[in-house]
Amino acid sequence: MNKKICGSLADKLHSRGFGRRKGKCVELSWEEMAYLAEKKIIDEDFSDVVGKASSSISNFDIRYLAYRDLRDRGYVLSVGNGYFKGRKNYAMDFYPISDMDEFSVDDMRNKEFPLILAVVDFDGETTYYLVELINPEGKYHILPEEKIDLEFHGNRAFSFEGIKSLEERTYGKDEGTWGHLSLLEVSYLAEKGILDNTPIMESDIYLVYRDLRNRGLIVKSGFKYGTHFRVYERSMDEHSKYLVHLISKREEIQKISRAVRVAHGVKKNLLLAYPDNGDILYFKFSWIRP
């Protein structure tokens, strides 16, 4: 049972965003109680509150550390069931999670975007990720025209003529007297009718490649950044805009944190792509410091 506070203290607390109004009283969540007890604004023993809260909520330590960090930064938050509702700059839901937790696509389905993940690490520090669901769009819809002869060796297609005209249209690598394409590129060009007699990949990674290309984006390997793809919006003369990584239904939040950090360091946007019944969901993750 959470605590109810009535009278003038209730008004004061409510004006500062604490508690839920119930007539002349406010009902406090465990996070709020602990915070107000720690700051000695209500007459409760902090250690008692932490003990009781922890026995009724399994991840109270995580929730409290995130709540406290935000409050101490001056944020006014109201507390929902497992999330905090922000105001002003971040008028969205904050979800406190542990660095040992996973990012679950299914958990995200019924959520309102944008949202913020507040990840508490084992030192008790909180890192914030703004998560948006977006539809990336590019401006590059040009396809090669000429058909070429290919030989398949390993995971690659070889042409023993140059493929300069393909490379100019962002497909394959021309090496002068010969050239090579990845199976992703080959599959896509085959689906578009540019190549004949070519097997078409059926893997999730190809579904993401195809979807990005269909959206007018130029897709190249993201290996140097540790992601599946780097993606250009208009032309390869510009810097790539997105790093795109195919994810499974559940991913370690730590793995995502690493990808966000890489993207942040090179000033690109990180998109996590999840193939979902014919569509691809793109979760954009940004590291923020609220």
Task: Please state whether beta strands 218-221 and 229-232 pair in parallel, antiparallel, or not at all (unpaired).
Answer: antiparallel
Is 228 marked active-site? no
Q: Which stretch binds a second copy (CB under 8 A): 20-28, 103-111, 175-183, 187-195?
A: 175-183
The interface with a second copy within residues 215-254 (CB under 8 A) comprises: 220-221, 223-228, 254
CA distance 42 to 27: 13
Peptide bond into 136 cis (omega under 30): no
Q: Which residue in the list 12, 39, 239, 249 is annotated as catalytic?
A: 239
Nearer to a second copy, 142 or 266 (CB): 266
> Cβ atoms within 10 A of the Cβ of 88, count?
7
Question: x/- site string to a second copy, residues 115 to 154, per CB under 8 A?
Answer: ----x-xxxxx-x-----------------------x-xx
CA distance 171 to 163: 9
Q: CB neighbours of 137 closer than 8 A, spacing ≥ 6?
A: 215, 216, 217
Q: What pairs with residue 27 in β-bridges?
A: 4, 20
Is 245 marked active-site? no
Q: Which residue in the list 180, 228, 245, 268 is annotated as catalytic?
A: 268
Per CB under 8 A, residues contacting a second copy are 38, 46-47, 50-51, 54, 58-62, 65, 98-100, 119, 121-125, 127, 151, 153-156, 158, 160, 173, 177-178, 180, 182-184, 220-221, 223-228, 254-262, 265-266
**Active site positions, annotated:** 232, 239, 268
